[in-house]
Amino acid sequence: MKLIVKPDKGFGKIEIELSNELWGKIERLSEEYSVSPEDVIEIALLGEFKMPKGELEELEKKVEELEEKVWELEKEYAPLRFKAYGVSEDNKILAIELSGLIAENSQLRRFLRLKPERNLELRKLISYYLQ
């Protein structure tokens, strides 16, 4: 495998021949840490290694425990979110129906030559549920 390192500016470049064994190690590292092989090579060349500040296995166990707790909470609250969504959709439908009834009421008041009513609070409520 041939590795070509080009600078950001200028014409100079470096060509390096990598053995298949070394390239295999680079690919394994890139898969293990979910980064591209180019990033692995860049980190190796620049020496920007980060050593874990604790025992890696212990931290991984804590992460797994936290993931389990998250999934338990997700299982618990998923039905509630679904019900809340259903209620909000019902509220939208009711707001639409109420808006239609208000319009019909105002038309009837005009027909009967009565004074029209201004229900500002009711209109605010309707606009809230239609959002």
Task: Render pLDDT for 8-21 as a digit per residue (tens, 0 to 9).
Answer: 777 777 777 888 88
Could you tell me the CA-to-CA distances from 40 to 17, 28, 44, 54 in Å, in that order?
16, 10, 6, 22
Could you tell me the CA-to-CA distances from 36 to 13, 16, 100 in Å, in that order?
21, 18, 59
Q: Which helix (H) or strand (E) holds 94?
A: helix 56-111
Residue 106 and residue 72 in one domain? yes
Residue 66 and residue 25 in one domain? no
CA–CA separation, 22 and 25 (whole Å): 5
At position 37, the amino acid (one-letter code) is P
Q: How many domains does the chain have?
A: 2
Q: What is the extent of the structural domain holding 39? A: 2-46
- CB atoms under 10 Å from CB of 40, counted, come to 19
- Is 11 within the bounds of a domain? yes
Q: Are 76 and 103 in contact (CB under 8 A)?
A: no
The mean predicted confidence, pLDDT, of the chain is 86
32-36, 40-44, 104-108: segment of lowest average pLDDT: 40-44
Q: Within a 13 Å sphere around the CA of 50, how many CA atoms are in the beta-carbon half?
A: 6
Q: pTM here?
A: 0.48
Residue 75 and residue 34 in one domain? no
Q: What is the pLDDT of residue 49?
A: 67
